[in-house]
């Protein structure tokens, strides 16, 4: 697939817009970083909890982080698609 093919398939932006967009994510990176750190902590707790209370706290925290991440990603998609 070449540039021409992608253009024919309607997958490229109009030529006049080339070079005018920054390829930066619309996701909130600081929050993602915090979520990533909490996810690491959660996985650590799952393991080090050795099947006791801390393990279940870790598992619960992991699920919360997962939902937070998904929410941020959906928001990022909406923002990206709304961009002119």
Partner 1 sequence: MPQEKPPHGSVGKVGLIRDLSLFDITMVGVGAMIGAGIFVLTGIAAGTAGPALILAFSLNGVVTIFTAMVYAELGSAIPEAGGGYLWVKEGLPAWNAFLAGWMSWFAHAVAGSLYALGFGSYFELVLRNFHMSPFGLSGELLHKVLAVAVALLFVGINFKGVSETGKVGNVVTLGKIFILGIFIASGLLAIFRNPSYLDKLTPFAPEGMTGVLMAMGLTFIAFEGYEIIVQAGEEVKNPRKNIPKAIFLSLAIVIPIYLLVAFTALGAVNPQSGQATWEWLGQHAELGLAEAARQFMPLGTTLLLIGGLLSTMSALNATTFSSTRVSFAMGRDRNLPDLFSKIHWRTRTPHMALLFSGALIILMAVAVPIEDVAAAADVMFLLLFLQVNIAVVTIRKKYGDKLDYGYLIPFYPVLPIINTGLISFLAIFMFHFSALAWFVVIGWITAGFVIYSLYASRREREKEVTPIVLEERWVGPAEQFRVMVPIANPATAELNLQVASRIVQSMDGELLLLHVAAVAPQTPFSGGRQVLQQIRPVIDRSADVARELGLQAHSLVRLSHQPSKGIIHTVEERKVDFVVMGWRGRSRDPRTLIGRNIDEVVKQSPCNVLVVRQDVSIPARHILIPIANAAHANLLLSVGRLLLSDDANRRITVLHVVPPEMAEETKQDRLDEIKSSLQQPGFFDPEGTEIRLDGNPVTLESEVSTDSVGTIAHRSREFDLMLIGSSQESFLRRRIFGGKPYLISQRAACPVIMISPETSPVKFSIQTFFQFFWELDQEAKAEKRH
Binding site for partner 1 (CB under 8 A): 1, 3-4, 6, 8-9, 11-13, 17-27, 29, 32, 39, 42-43, 46-47, 49-52, 55-56, 59, 62-63, 66-67, 69-70, 73-74, 76-78, 80-81
Smallest distance from partner 1 to CB 52, Å: 6
d(CA 57, CA 76): 28
Q: How far apart are the first and last CA of the chain?
A: 26
Smallest distance from partner 1 to CB 29, Å: 5
Smallest distance from partner 1 to CB 47, Å: 6
Sign of the CA dihedral running 82, 22, 77, 1: positive
Q: Largest Cα–Cα distance of the chain, in whole Å? A: 60
């Amino acid at each position: 697939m070449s540039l021409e093919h992608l253009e024919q398939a309607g997958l490229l932006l109009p030529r006049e817009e080339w070079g005018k967009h920054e390829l930066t994510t619309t996701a909130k990176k600081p929050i993602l970083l915090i979520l990533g750190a909490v996810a690491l902590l959660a996985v650590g707790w799952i393991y080090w909890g050795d099947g006791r209370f801390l393990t279940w706290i870790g598992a619960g925290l992991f699920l919360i982080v997962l939902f937070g991440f998904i929410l941020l990603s959906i928001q990022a998609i909406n923002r990206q698609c709304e961009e002119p």
